[in-house]
Amino acid sequence: MSVVSELRSVRRPKGKRRPSALHKGDGKAAIFFLGPWFLGLILITAGPMAASAYLSFTDYSLLEAPNWIGLDNYIRMFDDPRLINSLKVTFMYVLISVPLQLAAALALALVLDRGLRGLAIYRSVYYLPSLLGGSVAIALLWRQVFGADGLVNAVLAWFGIEGEGWVSHPDYALGTLMILNIWTFGAPMIIFLAGLRQIPQMYYEAASIDGASKWRQFTSITIPLLTPIIFFNLVLQLINAFQTFTQAYVVSGGTGGPADSTMFYTLYLYQKGFASLDMGYASAMAWLLLAIVAGMTAVNFLVSKYWVFYND
């Protein structure tokens, strides 16, 4: 159903498939149909990947030819307090906002499931922020809503509370971005809704005949059968959240401030590569990012054996 499950099931076909008459000449046709993709794979994806691996061992700065400096960039990264900080900020953001976002998505999906009147309308309303959340316009809106004289403080003033300038306070700025991420729970919610719909109704009927309480049905039927979907959402949202850029860039005006409190890893990478033109270092950072994302996903898959329930 998903990229994740597809990757689980990619296996080498056993034995040689005998080409039938029907598939004669498929090879030539494949060259035609895959031509553009293959060119893109080489020129736009694989080539640049190899180049980026090479550059990560150089001091390339766009203006001068690259000099080989060995592992210097990688060693420098571990001595770079701003990089360490950007990792901290990003992990905080990912590890707090993704679980909360998924919890909200699951909770709403459960409430919206099964024959609720107006389901389609609620679903649309809750989904809309997911579509808009990545845009610059919404990030600008966030900057205002959580600004010193923004909407949040205006509402707080009704209750006689004097609020901070949330986006300009180092303790709270990251929190406003987390709220923005949680606000976009609509997409995982729709995936949960689709998953809930696939649980056969008869399981619940059987359980209630046996006298299982609603809670028991939830913990013993809904949750176990939903674990593949939870897992899928988790993998996807972790990968996405780790690469968040636009929101942090816009809300902080491109600085990652105040006091580097919203300096996401990708934002620091952008600053290094495209503002200071330290492209060798930025390439090394990109490979660390890939290693982290791949590592996170691998750990997820390993741990999934202990909690994800596959019915097949």
Task: Report the site for other proteins in 219-248 (rule: CB under 8 A).
Answer: 232-233, 236, 239-240, 243, 245-246
Amino acid residing at 305: K
Give the residue, chosen from 68, 171, 214, 274, that forms a contact with other proteins under the rule CB under 8 A.
274
Tokens 């008459």 locate to: 21
For residue 217, give every residue at least 6 positions away whose Cβ sits within 8 Å of its Cβ, in sequence order, or none. 204, 207, 208
Whole-number minimum distance, CB 68 to other proteins, in Å?
16
Give the residue, chosen from 105, 167, 193, 238, that forms a contact with other proteins under the rule CB under 8 A.
193
Which residue from 114, 107, 116, 302 is spatially nearest to 223, judged by alpha carbons?
Answer: 107
Binding mask 40-79 for other proteins (x = CB under 8 A): xx-xxx-xxx-xx--x------x-----------------
> Which residue, 71 or 290, is less far from other proteins as judged by CB?
290
Helix/strand/coil for 170: coil
Q: Footprint of other proteins on residues 5-24 (CB under 8 A)?
A: 6-7, 10-13, 17, 19, 22-23
Tell me how far apart the alpha carbons of residues 246 and 254 are, in angstroms, rounded to a whole number.
9
Is residue 163 a contact point for other proteins (CB under 8 A)?
no
Is residue 141 a contact point for other proteins (CB under 8 A)?
yes
Tell me how far apart the alpha carbons of residues 31 and 25 are, in angstroms, rounded to a whole number.
10
Give the residue, chosen from 103, 194, 299, 303, that forms a contact with other proteins under the rule CB under 8 A.
194
Q: Footprint of other proteins on residues 196-215 (CB under 8 A)?
A: 208
Q: Which stretch binds other proteins (CB under 8 A): 69-77, 139-147, 163-171, 218-226?
A: 139-147
Tell me how far apart the alpha carbons of residues 292 and 268 are, in angstroms, rounded to a whole number.
16
> Which residue, 58 or 261, is less far from other proteins as judged by CB?
58
Give the residue, chosen from 63, 65, 137, 302, that forms a contact with other proteins under the rule CB under 8 A.
137
For residue 112, give every residue at least 6 positions away whose Cβ sits within 8 Å of its Cβ, in sequence order, or none. 119, 122, 123, 126, 189, 193
Is residue 168 a contact point for other proteins (CB under 8 A)?
no
Tell me how far apart the alpha carbons of residues 149 and 147 are, in angstroms, rounded to a whole number.
5
Helix/strand/coil for 148: coil
Tell me how far apart the alpha carbons of residues 84 and 8 are, in angstroms, rounded to a whole number.
33
Whole-number minimum distance, CB 75 to other proteins, in Å?
19
The tokens for 166 are 């949330």
CA angle, corner 27, sides to 25 and 32, nearest 5? Answer: 100
Which residue from 249, 290, 294, 212 is spatially nearest to 45, judged by alpha carbons?
Answer: 290
Give the residue, chosen from 67, 124, 219, 276, that forms a contact with other proteins under the rule CB under 8 A.
124
> Which residue, 11 or 305, is less far from other proteins as judged by CB?
11
Tell me how far apart the alpha carbons of residues 190 and 18 are, in angstroms, rounded to a whole number.
42
Whole-number minimum distance, CB 138 to other proteins, in Å?
8
Give the residue, chosen from 95, 136, 206, 303, that forms a contact with other proteins under the rule CB under 8 A.
136
Give the residue, chosen from 67, 71, 149, 214, that forms a contact with other proteins under the rule CB under 8 A.
149
Give the residue, chosen from 165, 293, 296, 301, that forms a contact with other proteins under the rule CB under 8 A.
293
Give the residue, chosen from 15, 36, 70, 81, that forms a contact with other proteins under the rule CB under 8 A.
36
| 65: alpha, beta or left? (left if phi > 0; alpha if psi -120 to 50) | beta
